[in-house]
């Protein structure tokens, strides 16, 4: 009996060793370990064995079965791995073939610039508000210290609808509308479309965008204005950016300033981009004129504020080095796809 | 405004700085310098030489050989110039020197022209004699220069001296951008005063003393101002025995450097004083002033008047006129009349220096279409005190330049002058406002430089009369800030109550619209808000369409930009056309922009502005691609209520069989469709195009960012497919409505998986197949549940005339 088992085992292991296909291994499994297999046949022959020998023989049969099973499983696993490896070898692809894109659309460069500006000011606690594009003369001019026949009206060639209604020439009227609401403190930016009767060319458009900023609170100082805009310029144009405040005049702010930033192309050493000066003008600003506050029922002895206005197209043209403003309104897909 | 720095320095004698320093400091104190140009930047080694001998060139008819004494030595110069003779003193550029331009004038090379010794037709030449053009200038600035040929100095100059200095070309022209509030700085004295304060040097204005004769001006002329509102001051002086001649060189050069062509002593003096004082003056020939009387009054409506440029102008009663006893002789502040203009034969001159109501001048100039240097100044509102100073200065120059004799006295009709307000001087308040810590004394010293009066007893400051821009606390704070230096003011961030930075809900929805559009392949375009009224015809809108009622611009750039759009389509179609024309493939664009809907015509109040989300595309995709974008958008806004696509949208510009109104919860929120082929033709778009327009104010009402988790189904769904033969006129939407209505509580979803018309289907019918899915939240559905629901659905469909296929 014992010899027979050794013989079965040796024969099985030999067959396993010589197998070269998964099917053959499965065959061996059935032949030796299956219900009609050789080991089962041995167990069936137990009836001829002396009863006291039976447990011993039974144990030997099980050991043999386990041994064959173990070797068999090892071979099957090896064989399966080899097969998978071979399959994967055939599945090699050219990874340099182009990707399958979803062809997403692109934002307008103005919007990208606007979102950057909004992000910066929202982070500083400013609310984004809007005002009408067709505006009352009062809000666009009179409330901002620009009465009828003020010379400043010539500087902003205005489209009129009626004597009292204009296409707004600036986003500044939103300041007045916001202050009139009487909710203080105010920290807002107001982006939007403005209009001036300029003929279309590479640097002019009769319709463009501005972003107005306004802060009104107790103890707002000119230093706060400087600090805020310096922070803004750094965020927008890079940490190294320096700002320069030059005195200027706007009817609705006093003191007023124009702000230059160091040229982000040459860093301030002077290049063609900044016409050699090292500086690029980006915005106008100032402390809200006391008359403007008063007109909005805010007491200038108690409150002060600052305001600023940025040309959105100017930022977009500068940042993305777009050399012709007309491109912004042609909507050529080859242009838009670059942003 | 362009001015030579030397003229400024004449009144700030201690001013010493480089051009760049002047540029920077003036700009930082508020007198913005646009740029500057050194007149001698390419003038090197140029001295006065005297021609001692001239000989013919042996080999060239047009050349001569000159022996030129340049002080230390005599050099030989060959020239082609024909205007020189022996004894002439001329500018000579030596070997290795530089001139600014060619002898014929024209644009100057950036780096000048280098001059080297050489040979001309075999004869050595050690330098060059210069024309005024070669020195970078011209006859405007140096009218004494010959039209062609070498510049010749007067005899009294010293041989060997710096010729550039003698010509006054060691100078720099600065270009200023003066802000509209600083009318005082439209003058040399104004800028000089700012320069003095900026560099903290004394300001030394000209000393004006008029040597007048014993006569009385009142016996020459009388002045009557009828409208004192419009004419705040009228000063008149008379000069007699006028001798018209060229003005002196220094005056001509200063004028020329400012861009004013010298003419003769009389004209030059008025222009000079206008530059110097910023006060326009007018000179009348007294002989032409009837009755020796000046009357300042309004014109009569419809009157005509010939100005001294020869043009006939039509007047109205808002325009102020200068008249004599009989007639008009000038439009006040704008231009004099042909009938009283100065000729070379003038004997007695009447000078006028007046101030007028700025707003009135501005309006008149605008209506006349005649803006002059003078009106540009008057319209900013001039200082009446300055008028008197200027007319005296002019008379002083008449006398000093031997142009004539000044009659004693001034006729001066002056309305009571508006005093500048006294402003309380509160240094702490100024510091608190600026965020600075500037000493009181420093503030006072700034006021002093600017000629502000400080009343110690009252503790007030008051600006001089030429500073009409100073009216309140903030104004004096600005003066302090300017001269303390904006750059020295510290930086800080606003303190105080914290505020929430945010986008409005409307803007968040717009942000979502952009996100979805871009996700679906649409790029953002921007179109103009104004367009041509012809657009309505182009879009085939009926004559009585509400959309034809648009906001009209009273002063448009042209008809093409004359109305505010009521529909966003023209911009989108124009953009698609641009792309199509440029052969761009598969173009998808969107725009977020307002349309402007008048509340009434003609406009009396602000129109309604409605944000429109417009999508347009051509190339890959069809109606349902566009519809899919709309559906994605609604999903993203939590708009999962009932949406109906009503084919009866009635849009004239869309394909009649391929358009739909988008109705959400019974509200029309937009429309979409294929663009009408006729409209495509009109826009030259040679392929099918699709558009969708969503009316954002309505969308915003329905949109929400609230989401509630509904759980994931625990029990299995059961699905059934049905296949139908449907009469063609029944819409899929109607089938879906029936399924939704009959499916009961267990109906989970339904989806179209096939639609077919063609050979196998009988005429007038289409084949439609749906997959319907049922599920219960609380149990596994029994066959009976599903069958019952399906039966109801099928009965419903059959009642519509739909045949079921097995």
Q: What percentage of chain B has pLDDT greater than the value 70?
A: 100
* Closest chain A C-alpha to B507 CA, distance in angstroms: 8
Residue of A nearest to B501 (CA): A125
In chain B, residues with a C-beta closer than 8 Å to the C-beta of A262 are: none
Give the C-alpha distances (Å, rounded to integers) separating A173 from A136, A234, A292, A298: 9, 27, 11, 16
- How many angstroms separate the CA atoms of B8 and B15, rounded? 9
Joined together, the tokens standing for residue B432 give: 């608190």
Q: CB–CB of A241/A233 below 8 Å?
A: yes
B window 409-438, beta carbon within 8 A of A: 432-436
For residue B105, pLDDT beyond 80: no
Question: For position A155, what pLDDT does the model report?
Answer: 63
Which residues sit opposite B721 in a β-bridge? B771
Helices (H), B258-353: 265-277
> pLDDT confidence of A52, banded at 50, 70, 90?
confident
* Closest chain B C-alpha to A93 CA, distance in angstroms: 29
Q: Matching CATH topology for B2-39+172-199 and B422-488?
A: yes
- How many angstroms separate the CA atoms of A297 and A294, rounded? 5
A127 touches chain B (CB under 8 A): yes
Mean pLDDT throughout A167-187?
A: 96
pTM: 0.86
b/e per residue B348-385 (b: at least 16 CB within 10 A): bbbbbbbbbbbbbbbbbbeebebebebbbbbbbbbbbb
Contact A246 B561 (CB under 8 A): no
CATH annotation of B505-702:
3.30.930.10
| Beta-carbon-side half-sphere exposure of residue B44 (alpha carbons within 13 Å) | 12
Phi, psi of B552 (to 5 degrees): -95, 140
- How many angstroms separate the CA atoms of A145 and B471, rounded? 13
Contact A222 B179 (CB under 8 A): no
In chain A, residues with a C-beta closer than 8 Å to the C-beta of B493 are: 124, 224, 227-228, 231
CATH of B2-39+172-199, one of 3.40.50.2300, 3.30.70.2740, 3.40.50.300, 3.30.56.10: 3.30.56.10
A204 touches chain B (CB under 8 A): no
Contact A254 B478 (CB under 8 A): yes
B29 touches chain A (CB under 8 A): yes
Question: For position A46, what pLDDT does the model report?
Answer: 78
The fourth-level CATH superfamily of domain B212-414 is: Phenylalanyl-trna Synthetase, Chain B, domain 3 (3.50.40.10)
Contact B557 A197 (CB under 8 A): yes
Question: For position A141, what pLDDT does the model report?
Answer: 95
Contact A222 B481 (CB under 8 A): yes
Question: For position B374, what pLDDT does the model report?
Answer: 92
| Beta-carbon-side half-sphere exposure of residue B341 (alpha carbons within 13 Å) | 13
> pLDDT confidence of B576, banded at 50, 70, 90?
very high
Size of interface A-B (CB pairs under 8 A): 256
Give the sign of the dihedral formed by CA B260, CA B262, CA B263, CA B265: positive
Looking at the domain covering B44-166, what would its CATH class be? mainly beta
B616 touches chain A (CB under 8 A): no
Question: For position B102, what pLDDT does the model report?
Answer: 84
In chain B, residues with a C-beta closer than 8 Å to the C-beta of A129 are: 504
- How many angstroms separate the CA atoms of B556 and B554, rounded? 6
A window 268-307, beta carbon within 8 A of B: 287, 289-291, 300, 304
- How many angstroms separate the CA atoms of B230 and B321, rounded? 10
B581 touches chain A (CB under 8 A): no
- The distance in angstroms from the start CA to the end CA of chain B is 91
Q: CB–CB of A193/A206 below 8 Å?
A: no
Which of A113, A118, A121, A134 best probes binding to B when mutated, by most B CB atoms within 10 angstroms?
A134
CATH of B718-805, one of 3.30.70.380, 3.20.20.105, 3.40.50.1820, 3.60.15.10: 3.30.70.380
Residue of B nearest to A248 (CA): B30
Q: Which of B359, B434, B587 sits opposite A333 (nearest CB)?
A: B587
B530 touches chain A (CB under 8 A): yes
A322 touches chain B (CB under 8 A): no
Which of A222, A257, A304 best probes binding to B when mutated, by most B CB atoms within 10 angstroms?
A222
> pLDDT confidence of A267, banded at 50, 70, 90?
confident
Residue of A nearest to B578 (CA): A332
Question: For position A222, what pLDDT does the model report?
Answer: 97
User: ipTM, 2 decimals?
Assistant: 0.87
Joined together, the tokens standing for residue B630 give: 């709309």
CATH 3.30.56.10 fits B422-488, yes or no: yes
Contact B490 A228 (CB under 8 A): no
For residue B104, pLDDT beyond 80: no
Mean pLDDT throughout A113-137?
A: 96
Give the C-alpha distances (Å, rounded to integers) separating B755 from B446, B770, B774: 86, 9, 22
Q: Which of A123, A130, A255 sits opposite B478 (nearest CB)?
A: A255
Assign B708 to helix, strand or coil. coil
For residue B106, pLDDT beyond 80: no
Considering only the C-alpha atoms of chain A, give the largest distance between any 2 of them, rounded to a whole number of Å. Answer: 130
Question: For position A60, what pLDDT does the model report?
Answer: 85
> pLDDT confidence of B180, banded at 50, 70, 90?
confident
Structural domain boundaries in chain B: 2-39+172-199, 44-166, 212-414, 422-488, 505-702, 718-805
Contact B604 A162 (CB under 8 A): yes
Contact B521 A105 (CB under 8 A): yes
Q: CB–CB of B287/B386 below 8 Å?
A: no
Q: Give the model confidence (pLDDT) of B341-399 as tens digits.
A: 888 899 999 999 999 999 899 999 989 999 998 999 998 889 999 999 999 999 999 99
In chain B, residues with a C-beta closer than 8 Å to the C-beta of A130 are: 504, 506-507
For residue A44, pLDDT beyond 90: no
Which of B474, B512, B564, B565 best probes binding to A when mutated, by most A CB atoms within 10 angstroms?
B474
Collect all residues with Cβ–Cβ distance below 8 Å to B705 and sequence separation of at least 6.
B508, B637, B638
> pLDDT confidence of B472, banded at 50, 70, 90?
very high
Q: CB–CB of B588/B523 below 8 Å?
A: yes
Contact B493 A228 (CB under 8 A): yes
């Amino acid at each position: 009996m014992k010899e027979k088992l050794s013989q079965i085992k040796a024969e099985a292991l030999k067959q396993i060793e010589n197998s070269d296909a998964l099917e053959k291994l499965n065959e061996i499994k059935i032949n030796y370990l299956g219900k009609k297999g050789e080991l089962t046949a041995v167990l069936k022959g137990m009836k001829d064995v002396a009863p006291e020998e039976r447990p011993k023989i039974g144990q030997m049969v099980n050991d043999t079965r386990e041994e064959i099973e173990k070797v068999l499983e090892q071979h099957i696993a090896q064989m399966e791995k080899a097969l998978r490896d071979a399959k994967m070898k055939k599945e090699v692809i050219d990874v340099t073939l182009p990707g399958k894109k979803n062809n997403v659309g692109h934002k307008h460069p103005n919007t990208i610039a606007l979102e950057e500006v909004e992000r910066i000011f929202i982070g500083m606690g400013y609310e984004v508000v809007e005002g009408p594009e067709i505006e009352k003369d009062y809000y666009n001019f009179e409330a901002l210290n620009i009465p009828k026949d003020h010379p400043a009206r010539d500087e902003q060639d205005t489209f009129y609808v009626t004597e009292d209604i204009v296409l707004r020439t600036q986003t500044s009227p939103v300041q007045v509308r916001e202050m009139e609401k009487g909710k203080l403190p105010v920290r807002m930016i107001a982006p939007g479309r403005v209009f001036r009767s300029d003929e279309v060319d590479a640097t002019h458009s009769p319709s463009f965008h501005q972003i107005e900023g306004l802060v009104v609170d107790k103890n707002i100082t000119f230093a706060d204005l400087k600090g805020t805009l310096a922070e803004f310029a750094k965020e927008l144009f890079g940490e190294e950016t320096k700002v320069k405040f030059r005195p200027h005049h706007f009817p609705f702010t006093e003191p007023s300033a124009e702000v230059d930033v160091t040229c982000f192309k040459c860093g301030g050493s002077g290049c063609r981009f900044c016409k050699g000066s090292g500086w690029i003008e980006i915005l106008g600003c100032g402390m809200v004129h006391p008359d403007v506050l008063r007109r909005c029922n805010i007491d200038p002895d108690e409150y002060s504020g600052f305001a600023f206005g940025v040309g959105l197209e100017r930022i977009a043209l500068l940042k993305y080095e777009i050399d012709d403003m007309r491109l912004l309104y042609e909507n050529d897909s080859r242009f838009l796809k670059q942003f | 405004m362009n001015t030579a720095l030397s003229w400024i320095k004449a009144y700030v004698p201690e001013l010493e700085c480089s051009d760049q320093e002047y540029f920077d400091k003036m700009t930082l104190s508020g007198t913005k310098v646009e740029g500057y140009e050194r007149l001698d930047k390419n003038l090197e080694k140029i001295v006065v030489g005297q021609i001692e001998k001239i000989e013919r060139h042996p080999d060239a008819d047009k050349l001569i050989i000159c022996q030129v004494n340049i002080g230390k030595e005599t050099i030989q110069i060959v020239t082609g110039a024909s205007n020189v003779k022996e004894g002439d003193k001329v500018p000579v550029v030596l070997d290795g020197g530089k001139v600014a331009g060619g002898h014929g004038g024209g644009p100057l090379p950036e780096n000048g022209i280098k001059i080297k010794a050489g040979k001309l037709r075999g004869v050595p030449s050690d330098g060059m004699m210069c024309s005024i053009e070669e020195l970078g200038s011209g006859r405007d600035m140096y009218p004494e220069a010959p039209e062609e040929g070498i510049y010749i100095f007067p005899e009294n100059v010293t041989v060997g001296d710096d010729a550039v200095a003698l010509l006054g070309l060691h100078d720099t022209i600065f270009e200023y951008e003066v802000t509209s509030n600083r009318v005082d700085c439209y003058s040399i004295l104004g800028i000089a005063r700012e320069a003095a304060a900026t560099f903290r040097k004394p300001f030394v204005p000209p000393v004006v003393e008029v040597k007048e004769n014993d006569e009385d001006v009142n016996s020459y002329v009388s002045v009557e101002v009828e409208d004192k509102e419009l004419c705040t001051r009228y000063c008149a002086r008379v000069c007699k025995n006028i001798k018209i001649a060229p003005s002196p060189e220094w005056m001509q050069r200063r004028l020329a450097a400012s861009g004013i062509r010298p003419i003769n002593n009389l004209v030059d003096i008025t222009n000079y004083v206008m530059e110097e004082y910023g006060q326009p003056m007018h000179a009348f020939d007294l002989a032409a002033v009837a009755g020796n009387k000046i009357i300042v009054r309004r014109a009569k409506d419809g009157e005509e008047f010939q100005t001294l440029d020869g043009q006939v102008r039509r007047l109205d009663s808002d325009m102020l006129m200068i008249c004599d006893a009989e007639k008009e002789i000038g439009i006040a502040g704008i231009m004099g009349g042909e009938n009283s203009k100065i000729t070379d034969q003038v004997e007695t001159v009447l000078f006028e220096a007046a101030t007028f109501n700025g707003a009135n001048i501005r309006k008149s100039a605008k209506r006349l279409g005649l803006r002059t240097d003078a009106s540009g100044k008057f319209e900013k509102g001039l200082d009446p005190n300055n008028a008197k100073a200027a007319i005296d200065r002019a008379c002083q120059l008449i006398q000093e330049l031997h142009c004539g004799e000044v009659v004693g006295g001034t006729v001066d009709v002056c309305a009571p002058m508006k005093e500048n307000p006294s402003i309380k001087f509160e240094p702490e308040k100024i510091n608190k406002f600026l965020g600075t810590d500037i000493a009181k004394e420093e503030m006072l010293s700034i006021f002093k430089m600017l000629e502000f009066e400080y009343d110690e007893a009252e503790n007030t400051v008051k600006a001089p009369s030429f500073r009409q821009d100073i009216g309140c606390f903030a104004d004096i704070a600005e003066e302090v800030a300017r001269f303390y230096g904006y750059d020295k003011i510290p930086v800080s961030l606003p303190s105080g109550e914290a505020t929430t930075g945010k986008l409005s809900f409307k803007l968040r929805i717009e942000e979502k619209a952009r996100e979805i559009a871009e996700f679906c392949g649409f790029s953002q375009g921007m179109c103009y808000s104004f367009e041509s009224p012809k657009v309505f015809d182009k879009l085939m809108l009926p004559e009585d369409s509400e959309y034809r009622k648009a906001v009209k611009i009273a002063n448009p750039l042209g008809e093409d930009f004359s109305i505010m759009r009521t529909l966003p389509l023209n911009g989108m179609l124009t953009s698609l056309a641009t792309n199509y024309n440029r052969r761009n493939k598969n173009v998808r664009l969107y725009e977020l922009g307002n349309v402007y809907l008048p509340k009434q015509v003609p406009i009396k109040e602000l129109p309604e502005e409605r944000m429109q989300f417009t999508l347009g595309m051509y190339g890959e995709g069809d109606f349902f691609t566009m519809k899919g974008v709309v559906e994605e958008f609604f999903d993203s806004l939590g708009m999962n209520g009932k949406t109906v696509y009503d084919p009866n949208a009635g849009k004239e510009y869309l394909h009649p069989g391929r358009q739909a109104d988008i109705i959400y919860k019974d509200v029309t929120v937009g429309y979409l469709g294929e663009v009408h082929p006729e409209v495509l033709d009109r826009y030259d778009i040679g392929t099918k195009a699709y558009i969708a327009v969503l009316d954002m104010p309505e969308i915003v009402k329905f949109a929400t960012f609230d989401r509630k988790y509904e759980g994931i189904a625990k029990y299995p769904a059961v699905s059934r497919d049905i296949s139908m033969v449907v009469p063609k006129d029944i819409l899929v939407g109607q089938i879906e409505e029936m399924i939704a209505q009959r499916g009961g509580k267990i109906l989970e979803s339904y989806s179209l998986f096939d639609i077919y018309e063609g050979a196998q289907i009988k005429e007038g019918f289409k084949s439609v197949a749906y997959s319907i899915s049922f599920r219960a939240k609380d149990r596994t559905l029994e066959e009976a549940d599903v069958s019952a629901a399906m039966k109801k659905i099928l009965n419903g469909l059959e009642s519509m005339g739909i045949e079921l296929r097995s």
